Amino acid sequence: MSNNNDISAKLHFFSHTVDGSAPWIDASYTLTEPIPNFIPASTDVIIHNMRGQENTFDLDTQGFEVHKYNGQVNNEFNNGDEQQRIYYEELAELLKKRLNAARVIVFNHVFRYRGPSRAIDLCDSNHKSPAIHPHVDFDGPGVYLKLKEVVGEEEAKRLTRNRFQLINIWRPIGSHIITRNPLTLCDYRSLDLKNDIHLTEVRGSPITYSVYTISHNAQNTQKWYYLNEMRSDELLVFKMFDSDPNVAQFCPHTGFINDHVPMNDIQQISLEARCFVFYDQ
């Protein structure tokens, strides 16, 4: 899959830790991105444009897909706002309809800012600059811990008797398309699961869990994708976890700098939400 808007860009992969220990990140610095014990290796990769081929991607195959957004919310909102309630309900209905799911819980969100980035003293858990390292938000045990935190231990046991997933939904908001620091997603099938995926402890978090950081494999088999000039009426839907072992399990992702577009100071904002998805069987 390729077209004229495939581009070359640098992604900042995991290479090795500075002290030879297992990788970790310190999330206690709430005003900045987590601080790791490794120095990323900047590597040039081809990032394929999905534009015009949106219908060829599938959550259970590549680990991600593209959807249209026809909802009401196109501006920032605060926790507890009516706009937040509406948006969470819209996303839950979208996933239930698309996946034939029994229940969806949208449990958090984050706005990210580029051109200019968010001032550090204005950042918090819901307002950040783009992440710049390929990663997966949780490992499997971390997903269970997060679910227990959201719904309680007994309800988590009940909900996980059947298949369940953790899915992220990402889109631009506002009137400006995303050209700076767009999101790129990795095809799950192109990963070397034994060598590309690195369990990384998260320190300084209210719960103890791990994420996956990603290295670039020597065979150069990874396939990365983005949606050129993504608009606010478009959604990227991608997996963080799936309890079904026979399908794509997760989707590594990161923001990246697109040097092929002119720099400007127009603020571009994205909104990412995390959703638990549950099935009757």
154-183: pLDDT as tens digits: 999 999 999 999 999 999 999 999 998 999
Residue 169 lies in a domain: yes
Query: What confidence score (pLDDT) does residue 273 get?
Result: 99
Mind listing the pLDDT tens digit for each residue in 40-57?
A: 999 999 999 999 999 999
AA letter at 127? H
Residue 151 lies in a domain: yes
Residue percentage of the chain with pLDDT more than 90: 80
Query: What confidence score (pLDDT) does residue 29 get?
Result: 62
Total residues found in the chain within this entry: 281
**pLDDT under 50: residue ranges of the chain:** 1-2
Query: What confidence score (pLDDT) does residue 129 get?
Result: 82
Task: Please report the sign of the dihedral spanned by the C-alpha atoms of residue 127, residue 203, residue 64, residue 237.
Answer: negative
Residue 1 lies in a domain: no
Number of domains in the chain: 1
d(CA 248, CA 8): 25
Residue 92: domain span: 7-278
The structure tokens 């995390």 sit at 274
- pTM score, whole prediction: 0.94
Residues 6+ apart with CB under 8 A from 230: 171, 172, 177, 178, 182, 183, 236
Residue 2 lies in a domain: no
Residue 89 lies in a domain: yes
d(CA 65, CA 187): 10
The CATH number of whichever domain residue 234 belongs to comes to 2.60.120
